Structure 1
Amino acid sequence: MIDYQSLRFDYKRHPDQDAAAPVRRPLVVVGAGPVGLALAIDLAQHQIPVVLLDNDNTLSTGSRAICFAKRTLEIFDRLGCGERMVDKGVSWNVGRVFFKSEEIYSFDLLPEAGHARPAFINLQQYYVEGFLAERVSELPLIDLRWKNKVTGAVQRADHVELTVETPDGPYRLEADHVAACDGSRSSMRGLLGLESKGRQFKDRFLIADVKMKLDRPAERWFWFDPEFHRNQSVLLHMQPDNVWRIDFQLGWDADPEEEKKPEKIIPRVKALLGEDAQFDLEWASVYTFSCLRMDRFRQGRVFFAGDSAHGVSPFGARGANSGVQDAENLAWKLAAVLRHQAPDALLDSYGHEREYAADENILNSTRATDFITPKSEISRLFRDAVLELAKSHAFARTLVNSGRLSVPATLRTSALNTPDTDAFQGGMVPGAVAADAPVICADGKAGWLLREAGRCAFTAVVFGDGETADRAARAVAEAGAAAGVPIATVRVPIDEPHVLATRRYDAQAGTVYLLRPDQHVCARWRRADAGIVRAALDRALCCNA
């Protein structure tokens, strides 16, 4: 088995370093963490060549980001590595909430059957990065350069000029566009004189990765004020390889260096598990956190994604998940512009949409942190009263906040959406991420709707058989041909095997949903003709701006 935490990647001198003048590249991605790797893979699948620079030659260590949501797994499926993630990860849907010594309630994040992926998997970040890096190695359009640290960035009228430091000395590189995926301490942000603004929370938490065999289910367990860690909170998650992650709230006055020492951690773990518990301490870290973001994620020809653009508390698993969704949103738009299928204005929508999503994540993250870590006696009295009521009253459980878990933002206000002209029920509104559902594929085998959608293209989901649906499919093909933009078509019969898809999309014979390459709904109709499909396509590409 590969030890991804100890991997070291070779630095290799590149011909660009010996060029007489800076070489021009269409796109440079800075940072080979989960977000940068995902973005590079997505762009390569769109047939866009990518230079991916990383200042180090290692993957992450310790658990760090571990909870990867259903939507992120669907993105990983599209990137060609979802199966590996799920096979290795610990799948879970159920969470349990405790107050002091008593379980007060549980919740199921995926109560309905008919989904290809679980609500979440727990998988250490080094596995995620390792699997993504191995996928990168399969794609010749990605030029991954380890130990290439960006130390200078200057925006020109038609490109960005980067200075890159290597073990062989510096060189300069030009790029039509740059994606900054270089984390919360983003060097790109600093080089451009930019900053993130928001709120820092005055609290400290200890992460302890503990290896042991523990007879507990793969569930999320969260304690408020438990007997074994009074006046604080504790979170427990199962990870692969018999590793469990435990987050202990410590308080603002805790000494980070002292709290990372084994002699401080081991008694805390034994208080949770029992004095006779057998375990090995694998990794530990003490963290603080902030909820903040940059004012604008697009800065000329530089685009910020993931933690370089926004930061949240770890409660709710909104950091890495939202970063991967940033990458997916940006990839198809950059590809469309670089292929001259869309104007530069389409790239502005990246900022508008993902800033909206970041604000939603920050709001949820802030509310969770305020509930988990009350900063006044009144706040604590309110929280504890809610927790007491939640034992027996369902209404109070909606007020309990141990971290509203990550779901993708519904981009209701996006300018790329075509407003409805027909009546629909349910959640598949323009701007929503398309729901998955079981389908029967063209070869007669069982499959999944999102896997039948175009990997890097707009997709029309056409419901029903017969002449009405056939006319709709022809209208889609005609609109795509007229626009010069490929549209994949998925036909979904209205019958018993497709009852979930029909219900989730409130479909009738002839209903059409138009999905963007990132699988967000951008338009839907009960009856479609080539003219309205073409207009929706133009709107989604900003061709009518």
Structure 2
Amino acid sequence: MLSTYTNPVYPYSRNEDQDSERPSHHKVVIVGGGPAGLSMSIDLAKQGVESVVLDDSNTVSVGSRAICFAKRTLEIMNRYGCAERMVSKGITWKRGKVFFGAEKVYEFDLLPEEHHKLPAFINLQQYYFEEYLVDVIETLPEVDLRWKNRVQTVDARTDINLLTIDTPDGIYQISCDYLIVADGANSPIRNRLGLESKGQVFQDRFLIADVVMKADFPTERWFWFEPPFHPEQSALLHRQADNVWRIDLQLGWDADPEWEKREENIRPRIEAMLGQDKHFDLEWASVYTFQCRKMDDFIHKRVFFVGDAAHQVSPFGARGANGAIQSVENLAWKLCRVLNHTAPPKLLRTYNEERQYAAKENILNSTRATDFITPKSDMSKVLRNATLNLAKIYPFARPLINSGRLSTPCTYQHSALNTPDRDTFENAPPLGSPVLDAQVQHHAHDSWLLDWVGNQFVLMVAEGGDEQDELLSELSNIDDLEVLLISRDLQPASHQGINQLTTINQLADMKGLLHQRYDLSEGAAYLFRPDQVITARWRQPTFNDVTNAMQRALGHQLEEAQ
């Protein structure tokens, strides 16, 4: 039992599928009620697709587990409707410090630029995150969330999936067109299907201890290499909500996990770190050995793996939960459009291609961080310590320090769904990168670009250019497309009839941030996918440019072999 949080207990209820003589059929079934599974159901619902979520428990995460949520994850949560609640409850931070021994080596700022709706990072216990997702789901009629429903077997076929499910009322069966597996790193379904997640197990152990205390430490990420209170090892300190502080202590491969988890053994370690006079209560503790691994293919017939079931990284850099949510947003919009028959099934293969690239990037960064934090040879340790000493004086050495390079969104720069640039944009986000936010005004009210992008294709067009009214009028008739007309002030130039078009919204870039961040000139345009990723851009687009780019992003131009 935690002293600062009481896990909600969600009721099991019998569903109508249990009374059906034959297996009921659903378009999408999701297995797992953790961050990835819950997020997938919300993303699908926001785009009009119903799903069934099966979870074998009846509550959210026990223990804080993942705590660091990056700006990109918060942007996705903004689309789901729970970012504001997360930021309000969580601990916002953007600064960090790195120590070697008792000395500070350097500090960093993750978001020095102003005028973004959401912060660089927040720290929030995973159980709050999951609870907020469940609260959103309870408002969505498209989601059927079933607690105490354990999947026993999966028969994965080329045209359908058949599931056998155990409940307090007995066993029943359902079928589905697509099965989303989000049942965690040890994924029972992945194992039952005879599939592997391959990679590296790191021979080291770490203690996670969450302690409750009132402390005057700043709200920053502090990382120590070989601190005096924990010689020859590493340590990490983070603040969470409710005056809970996360402490990570490296233990070494020979540590006995059961012995280390005892409070009488944890307390002296934390007292050495915080000081004998610091009062604290131990809230939760765990000893872990981490792995960096992934499946060779995240798709098996009509089964899709997301989150830790598909790819797993060490906790350094906060890439686990953040990477999982980005996988969800990548798959959801594609699955929706295949189900509503506006995209061919081959579009789904790009989920594997784009997220394999992202998983490799995350694993590479995670592995490098682990190797730097826990050098496995005397020479590696000498080089690491030399780098730390240099970094105290010389800025060039600081980027070489890797205490867990914090999660950044993957850029699908080489995706087959992008329309290659024919024009040049300076100092602007490249194709395949997510939306870069900026403050705007709508009808004289403050707003953010972020609030206008997502769930469908969005074309952001800078006001100006020849024959723009005709182009905007033509674009207003395209299904699944909304247009944002960006002016430099609150009084946009006259556009005959444009104000009456419901698919065109006029935003004022009063601070000039959109023009600056996207290198917008008159008539320039960016096309965003439904997952808020830039897929095409032009200086002066035509109607055919936009429609062809949408067709390409929907997978109509992919080779059949894919």
Q: TM-score normalized by structure 1? A: 0.97
- Compute the displacement of 1:544 (Å): 2.6
- In the other structure, the counterpart of 2:25 is 24
- In the other structure, the counterpart of 1:524 is 537
Q: Check the 8 A contact 2:441/2:447 in 1, yes or no.
A: yes
Sort the Cα spacing of 1:277 and 1:175 in 2 relative to 1 into closer, same or farther, 3 A.
same
- In the other structure, the counterpart of 1:464 is 463
Partner of 1:152, secondary structure, is strand
CA displacement 1:38-62 (0-9 Å, x = unmatched): 1101111111111000011111122
State the alpha-carbon separation in 1 of the partners of residues 343 and 3 from structure 2. Answer: 42
Q: Which residue, out of 491, 505, 515, partners 2:518?
A: 505
Query: RMSD over aligned Cα, in angstroms?
Result: 1.5
Identity %: 54
Partner of 1:347, secondary structure, is helix
Sort the Cα spacing of 1:273 and 1:469 in 2 relative to 1 into closer, same or farther, 3 A.
farther
CA displacement 1:63-93 (0-9 Å, x = unmatched): 2100000000000000011110000000001
State the alpha-carbon separation in 2 of the partners of residues 172 and 514 from structure 1. Answer: 42
- Compute the displacement of 1:3 (Å): 7.1
State the alpha-carbon separation in 2 of the partners of residues 356 and 220 from structure 1. Answer: 28
CA displacement 1:328-363 (0-9 Å, x = unmatched): 111111110111110101111111111110000000
Unpaired runs of 5+ residues, structure 2, are: 490-508
Q: 1:20-419 maps to which residues of 2 (within 5 A)?
A: 20-419=21-420
Q: Check the 8 A contact 2:158/2:302 in 1, yes or no.
A: no
Partner of 1:189, secondary structure, is helix
Unpaired runs of 5+ residues, structure 1, are: none
- Compute the displacement of 1:156 (Å): 2.3
CA displacement 1:455-481 (0-9 Å, x = unmatched): 411101111246555455345335x2x
Q: Check the 8 A contact 2:204/2:252 in 1, yes or no.
A: yes
Q: In structure 2, what residue type is equivalent to 1:146?
A: W
State the alpha-carbon separation in 2 of the partners of residues 505 and 386 from structure 1. Answer: 37
- In the other structure, the counterpart of 2:557 is 544
Q: Check the 8 A contact 1:457/1:487 in 2, yes or no.
A: yes
The runs of 4+ residues in structure 1 deviating greater than 4 Å are: 1-5, 465-469
Partner of 1:350, secondary structure, is helix
State the alpha-carbon separation in 2 of the partners of residues 284 and 2 from structure 1. Answer: 13
- Compute the displacement of 1:427 (Å): 4.1
State the alpha-carbon separation in 2 of the partners of residues 365 and 199 from structure 1. Answer: 11
State the alpha-carbon separation in 1 of the partners of residues 300 and 31 from structure 2. Answer: 15
State the alpha-carbon separation in 1 of the partners of residues 456 and 66 from structure 2. Answer: 30
- Do structure 1's residue 444 and structure 2's residue 457 form an aligned pair? no
Q: Check the 8 A contact 2:437/2:448 in 1, yes or no.
A: yes
- Compute the displacement of 1:501 (Å): 1.2
- In the other structure, the counterpart of 1:476 is 475
- Do structure 1's residue 492 and structure 2's residue 491 form an aligned pair? no
State the alpha-carbon separation in 1 of the partners of residues 14 and 422 from structure 2. Answer: 57
- In the other structure, the counterpart of 1:515 is 528
State the alpha-carbon separation in 1 of the partners of residues 436 and 470 from structure 2. Answer: 24
- Compute the displacement of 1:407 (Å): 0.6
Partner of 2:336, secondary structure, is helix
State the alpha-carbon separation in 2 of the partners of residues 180 and 133 from structure 1. Answer: 18
Residue range with higher mean Cα deviation, 99-108 or 155-164? 155-164
State the alpha-carbon separation in 2 of the partners of residues 343 and 128 from structure 1. Answer: 34
State the alpha-carbon separation in 2 of the partners of residues 16 and 499 from structure 1. Answer: 55
CA displacement 1:181-226 (0-9 Å, x = unmatched): 1110111101211010001100000011010000011110000000
State the alpha-carbon separation in 1 of the partners of residues 75 and 226 from structure 2. Answer: 36
- Compute the displacement of 1:515 (Å): 0.1
Q: In structure 2, what residue type is equivalent to 1:505?
A: Y
State the alpha-carbon separation in 2 of the partners of residues 385 and 507 from structure 1. Answer: 45
Q: How many residue pairs align between the two structures?
A: 538
- Compute the displacement of 1:4 (Å): 5.6
Partner of 1:37, secondary structure, is helix
Q: Check the 8 A contact 1:5/1:61 in 2, yes or no.
A: no
Partner of 1:416, secondary structure, is coil
Sort the Cα spacing of 1:191 and 1:527 in 2 relative to 1 into closer, same or farther, 3 A.
same
Partner of 2:475, secondary structure, is helix
State the alpha-carbon separation in 1 of the partners of residues 134 and 329 from structure 2. Answer: 17
Partner of 2:208, secondary structure, is strand
State the alpha-carbon separation in 2 of the partners of residues 5 and 315 from structure 1. Answer: 28
Q: Check the 8 A contact 1:468/1:509 in 2, yes or no.
A: no
Partner of 1:60, secondary structure, is coil
- Compute the displacement of 1:498 (Å): 3.8
Partner of 2:242, secondary structure, is coil
Q: In structure 2, what residue type is equivalent to 1:194?
A: L
Partner of 1:497, secondary structure, is coil
